[in-house]
Each structure stands twice: as C-alpha cells, then as structure tokens.
Amino acid sequence: MKLYELGEAYRLISKRIEETEDSDTAEDVVLKAALDSIEDAVENKAQAIIVMAKEWEAEAAALKEEEGRLSKRRKALENRAERIKGYLLVQLVAAGLSKLRTKLFSITVNKPKSRVVVGDASMLPPEFLRVKDPEPDKNAIKKALEEGRQVPGAHIEEGDHSLTVR
C-alpha cells in the first residue's frame, strides 16, 4: 500500500472505532488490530522516506562541497591563464611586436585605450553625473575632455595594453 492509501485507511478505521467506542465486539478487536498494522506500515513508510531524504541531503551536501572545491580549482586555473597571458603581453610589448601569427593562433597586442580617471567625484559638474545613481558618467567626461573642455576632478590617461587571441 502507498502512504497516502495507508493514511486514508487509518482515518477510516479510526472513525469506525470512534463510532463503536463503547462496545467490545469482535469487530472492534479486528479494527484495532488493523489500526495497529496500519500504524506499523505507516511507520515503516515514514522511516523509508526519511532515509531517502537523508541520503539525498547527504548527497546534496557532498555536491555542495565538491562545487566549492571545483570553484576554487576553476578560479585558480583562470588566474593561471590570465597570468601567463599577461606574461606573454609584457614580453611582446618589450620586444616591440604588435602582431604574431602561429600555426594555431593570431595574436595581436592592442594599443592602450585612453580611460577616464575620476579623482574626486564631488568636484564634477552635475552634467557628468548619472541621475539614477550618483556616479560619474565616464563616457560624457571622456567626450568632453577629448573636445578640449576642462572637467574639474577628472583627466584622461593611457590604459594598459591588452591581448587578443583568436
């Protein structure tokens, strides 16, 4: 019997026992025995369900732990890849090479892009602040600076080289 069927049977037998509560007939003895049997079956089903739930919880915990381990490993590998590409970039810039073709890759050293550095955002005129979040609108500041306008609290400086691998 399924657990929901046992629950329904238990309810029906309990109701019948309540209806004949004052009598000690053979039917009452049979009903009480059936009720005990159903209670045992419900206990067994409940125990089996909890055992399954505990197994799944343990497996989920093991997977969560494994996720953490794998995440750390992934981050370490990503960092390693970025460091080695950074090393390559530094060496190519030092050698004065801007393009390099290999059998597998075409590598380009990109020229630095200019970027806006905001030293003190409180000094910026309101036109260079975003309305939603009071933060500098670096695109507007860069455009103004490139047009020769003075923007108090900001200036343009060269960024870093970057590497493109295709």
Number of domains in the chain: 2
| 58 residue type, one letter | A
- Which pTM value belongs to this model? 0.51
Dihedral of the alpha carbons of 27, 28, 29, 31, in degrees to the nearest 10: 90
Domain co-membership, 84 together with 152: no
DSSP-assigned letters across all residues of 53-78: HHHHHHHHHHHHHHHHHHHHHHHHHH
Q: Which of 72, 92, 112 is the last residue of a domain?
A: 92
Token pair recorded at residue 159:
């960024």
Q: Tens digit of pLDDT for each residue in 129-155?
A: 887 767 899 999 999 999 999 999 999
Residue 158, domain extent: 99-165
pLDDT in the model for residue 23: 65
Domain co-membership, 13 together with 76: yes
For 23-36, what is the mean pLDDT? Answer: 73
Alpha carbon distance 48, 75 (integer Å): 40
Q: Tens digit of pLDDT for each residue in 73-130?
A: 999 999 999 999 999 999 999 999 999 999 999 999 999 999 999 999 899 998 898 8
Domain co-membership, 85 together with 139: no
pLDDT in the model for residue 79: 98
Q: Tens digit of pLDDT for each residue in 44-83?
A: 788 788 889 889 999 999 999 999 999 999 999 999 999 9
Domain co-membership, 81 together with 107: no
Q: Which of 92, 112, 144 is the last residue of a domain?
A: 92
Alpha carbon distance 59, 65 (integer Å): 10
